[in-house]
Structure 1
């Protein structure tokens, strides 16, 4: 009979070794993500968004949602707007846009 040496005799020790190896693999994957995946395209929020035009999606009482740069943004305006109206982006305040109705 062939005897394999170096393996633990107790099954719980065998389980513990594989459990620790699994945790090490997950930790290595997390570290890879932290160091190498963060250099992808940065998020474009606020002034970096660089969008001048948008379209009203939902509007009521001077505020609502507009579609700008392929994203849905919260917006405010003093102009009376309706869904489908084209608007110009005046300013970006955090995650909210100040817009005005575009005259064509």
Structure 2
């Protein structure tokens, strides 16, 4: 790597050194994130969500969207539902919730 005196007279060397330092900083930040931040917030999907109630946000026919656990979920139900209805989650199939009207 060129010395500091060489870089002042050669702008190409300065740009190359700046790029190397920048890429190095980004690589260290990514490595830090991979090692130390990966266990901070586990994803909770499906059964791990541990939520059994939801509120209907949008509904048409037998499907729509409900708010459960602070997230918007696609849902299906055989019951007639309307926005604002409280529903119970009866099953989780991937990212689809099966819901029933609270009785």
TM above 0.5, yes or no, is: yes
Inter-partner Cα distance in structure 2 for 1:34 and 1:11: 35
Runs (5+) with no aligned partner, structure 1: 1-5
Query: Which residue is 1:63 aligned to?
Result: 63
TM-score normalised by L of structure 1: 0.87
Equivalents in 2 of 1:86, 1:15: separation in Å? 60
Stretches of 4+ moved more than 4 A in 1? none
Which is richer in helix?
2
- TM-score (ref. length: structure 2): 0.88
RMSD (Å), alpha carbons:
1.2
Select the structure of larger CA radius of gyration: 1
SS for the counterpart of 1:30 is helix
Unaligned residue ranges in structure 2 (runs of 5+): none
Is residue 2:21 matched to residue 1:21? yes
In 1, the alpha carbon distance for the partners of 2:15 and 2:78 equals 66
1:46 aligns with 2:42: no
SS of aligned partner of 2:89: strand
Q: What is aligned with 1:35?
A: 35
Number of residue-to-residue matches in the alignment: 98
Equivalent residue for 2:80? 80
